């Protein structure tokens, strides 16, 4: 899912292409994309784009006459820019927004169509789509602390809750928690003040660094390879690959469609977090620590293993 750094770059590249330009046409190729009825989508046609905004993970095009086109890309939705006259729509194309300078294509891969498009009138209606999370790059430590401690959740869930924090999802929450050296399953109300401050600093640093990294990578081109899995990331999408800090194999826990990636040495004091599905399957065979896991690997290979009373060989 495109998160805060990705959305910022989308908006910056759109600014050079559509700001102060009229919407010539909107071609809706999948009717399920549109989630609003009033005002009708046709009212956006002919209106100039007067503002480009981010609302959490949503992209907002402010138009003349107090209209707002609001796009939520969800997990696999993406935007693509095509020069004037070069528009080829494939089966994943959901909508085409045409401007004098080119066309903006909204695509969504996969069979589950979750991306959404709203057209709303007025700031009040726009704010009904705002989940209310604080902007980490704009708030101070006090505001961050208040959001974090509003409810008692795991740190992973708190960071990805749009009612608490704006624009952070699965990928960057992993990176933030690794930078802060905190376990994804630590409960927010059990977090000491020093750890809250560390998390605040890490959140701002990671988001800023990735905005700059993506900005430099994209240049003036339109971002065409937006992904949550990047080789430069520390832990996200790097299961069993070495942690860049300590070289320990990155681990993960999965629940439904979400997962948390973490370094057990940097973040959990060597403890392996129990993945629900695997721990239920393995029960008492589930390793509790890095040392236990390494011993089992060594035993499987017939190498030396460490027992409670010393070393031995199976």
Query: How would DSSP label each residue in 113-166?
Result: ---EEEEEESHHHHHTT----B-TTTS-HHHHHHHHTSS--BHHHHHH-TTTBS
| Residues of the chain predicted below pLDDT 70 | 256-257, 276-288, 290-314
- Asked whether residue 20 falls in the same domain as residue 116, the answer is yes
The predicted structure's pLDDT at residue 295: 58
Measured CA distances, 266 to 91, 218, 255, 294 (Å): 44, 31, 22, 17
Alpha helices in 149-258 (DSSP H): 155-160, 170-180, 193-218
pLDDT (0 to 100) of residue 284: 53
Distance CA 269, CA 267 (A): 6
Structure tokens of 204?
Answer: 């701002």
CATH classification of the domain holding 196: 1.10.8.50
Within a domain: residue 305?
yes
Residue 227: other Cβ atoms inside 10 A: 11
Residue 282 half-sphere exposure toward CB, CA atoms < 13 A: 10
147 and 96 in one domain?
no
Asked if residue 257 is part of any domain, the answer here is: no
pLDDT at position 89 is 82
pLDDT at 88: 77
54, part of any domain: yes
Residue 174: both structure tokens together: 């992993």
Supply the pLDDT for residue 307.
35
Please check whether residues 149 and 207 belong to one and the same domain: yes
**Same domain, yes or no, for 116 and 208?**
no
Q: Does the residue 283 lie in any domain?
A: yes
At 85 the pLDDT is: 79
Q: Are 10 and 218 in contact (CB under 8 A)?
A: no
The pLDDT of residue 242: 97
The predicted pLDDT at position 282 comes to 45
118 lies in the same domain as 189: no
Q: Torsions phi, psi of 250, nearest 5?
A: -65, 140
End position of a domain, from candidates 97, 127, 157: 127
Predicted pLDDT at 29: 95
What CATH number is given to the structural domain containing 84?
3.20.190.10
What is the model's pTM?
0.88
Peptide bond between residue 39 and the one before it cis (omega within 30 degrees of 0): yes
**Structural domain boundaries, residue 186:** 141-218
Number of structural domains in the chain: 3
């Amino acid at each position: 899912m495109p998160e805060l750094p990705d959305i910022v770059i989308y908006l910056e590249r759109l600014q050079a292409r559509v700001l102060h330009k009229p919407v010539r046409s909107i071609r809706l190729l999948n009717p399920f994309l549109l989630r609003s009825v009033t005002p009708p989508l046709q009212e956006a046609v002919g209106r100039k784009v007067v503002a480009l905004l981010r609302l959490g993970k949503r992209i907002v095009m402010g138009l003349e006459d107090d209209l707002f086109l609001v796009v939520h890309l969800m997990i696999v939705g993406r935007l693509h820019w095509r020069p004037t006259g070069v528009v080829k729509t494939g089966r994943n194309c959901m909508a085409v927004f045409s401007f004098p300078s080119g066309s903006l294509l909204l695509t969504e891969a996969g069979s589950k169509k979750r991306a959404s498009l709203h057209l709303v009138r007025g700031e009040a209606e726009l704010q009904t789509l705002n989940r209310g999370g604080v902007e980490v790059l704009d708030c101070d430590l006090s505001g961050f602390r208040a959001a974090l401690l509003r409810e008692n959740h795991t740190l992973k869930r708190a960071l990805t809750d749009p009612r608490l924090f704006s624009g952070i999802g699965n990928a960057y929450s992993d990176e933030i928690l690794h930078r802060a050296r905190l376990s994804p399953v630590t409960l927010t109300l059990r977090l000491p003040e020093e750890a809250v401050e560390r998390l605040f600093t890490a959140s701002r640093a990671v988001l800023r660094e990735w905005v700059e990294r993506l900005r430099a990578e994209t240049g003036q081109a339109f971002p065409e390879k937006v992904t949550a899995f990047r080789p430069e990331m520390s832990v996200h999408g790097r299961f069993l690959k070495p942690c860049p800090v300590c070289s320990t194999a990155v681990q993960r826990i999965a629940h439904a469609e979400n997962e948390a990636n973490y370094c057990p040495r940097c973040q959990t004091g060597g403890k392996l977090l129990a993945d629900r599905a695997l721990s239920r399957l393995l029960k008492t065979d589930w390793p509790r620590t890095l040392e236990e896991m390494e011993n089992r690997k060594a035993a499987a290979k017939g190498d030396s293993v460490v027992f409670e009373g010393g070393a031995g060989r199976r």
